Amino acid sequence: MRVLVTGGAGFIGSHIVDRLVKMGHHVSVVDNFLTGSKENLNEKAKYHEADISDLEDLDRVFSEEKPEYIFHVAAGYLVQSLENPQRDAKTNIIGTINIIQLCLKYNIKKVIYSNSGGASYGNPQQIPIPETHSIHPLTPYGASKYAGELYFDMYYKNHGLKYTSLRYGNVYGPRQRPELEGGVISVFLDALIKKQNPVMKSDGTPVRDYIFVDDVVDANILAMSHGDGEAYHVASGKGTSVLELYGILQKVLNTNINYVLGKPRVGDPQKAIFDISKIKKELGWEPKVSLEEGTRATAEWLKNRKND
C-alpha cells in the first residue's frame, strides 16, 4: 500500500513512519524540518522536503508518489502559535486545506488526521471529557487544529473524502524534543538528566492525561480501516497532576532535584482527562504502556541523545 505521512520527520510522525515501514507499506514523507529532525528519518521511506502550505510543491509530491492513504501529522506547535498565530494558521489551516484539495484531486482513499484534544476544549465543563463536549480553545493552536477537523468533516459530507480524526491527550515518548517546550515530560526529564532544576509553569496542581507515543501509533493504524467520519480521543483516560508526574520522574531517574516555579503558560486548562470509551468500543483500541514504563523509555532516549 502507498502511504504518505505529513510531518513524518517529527516526533509522532516518525514513529508512524517506522510502523508503516515495518508493516511493509511503501511510505513517503513530507516535512519542512521546522520542528522535525533529520535524525528521525527512516532510511526505507522516501523523503520530500516541502511545506504543506505550498500547494504547488505539495501537488508535485502527490503526483510523484501517488499515495492511497494520508497520515496528516504535520502541524505547528502550541508555543509557536502564541508567538506567531499567522504562521500557525498557515500551517494548520491552509496546509490542511491544501491536503484536502489534493486528496480529492488524486482520489485518496482516506486521511487519518492528528488532532489535539488537550488544546481543543479549553476549560472543560465535564470530566472525563467526551468527544461530544463543546469546543472552546484557549490558544490559536487549539483553534487551528480543530478548524482542520471541521474542514475534513465538511469534505467528508459533501465530497465523500473519508477521514478519521484522532484527538490526542498529552503525547510523550522518545524523539519528543525538549527544546520545543511542547511536552512537560521531555522538558522535565531533560533538565533532571542535566542535573538542573526544572521550571514548573504552574503550581503543580493541573491534571493531565498522558499517553505514550507507541499507543498513539496503534490508534493511527487501526484508523486506516475503522471510524470513517468520526473523531476519537487517544489518551489514557487517567489523570495525573504535574506534582504526581514530577514524583514519578524523580523515581525513574533515582534523583532528588527540586523544581523552580516559573510563569504559568497561557491557555493551559486546570484539568483535562479524556473519556476513551468510544475508541475502545469502535476501534478496539486501548492504551498498553504505563506512565512509569513510558517515562523510563523516554529518559533512556534523552540520555542517549545527549551522548551523540
Q: How far apart are CA 95 and CA 41, in angstroms?
A: 22
CB 216 within 8 A of CB 71: no
Is position 47 annotated as part of the catalytic site?
Answer: no
The b/e string for 119-157 (b: 16+ C-beta within 10 A; e otherwise) is bbbbebeeebbebebeeebbbbbbbbbbbbbebbbebbe
CA 209-212-215 angle, to 5 degrees, is: 110
CA–CA gap between residue 269 and residue 274 (Å, rounded): 13
Which cell goes with 50?
516541502
Catalytic one of 69, 113, 121, 141: 141
All three cell numbers of 149, joined, read 477537523
Contact 91, 53 (CB under 8 A): yes
Rounded Cα distance between 302 and 163, Å, is 34
Catalytic sites, residue numbers: 141
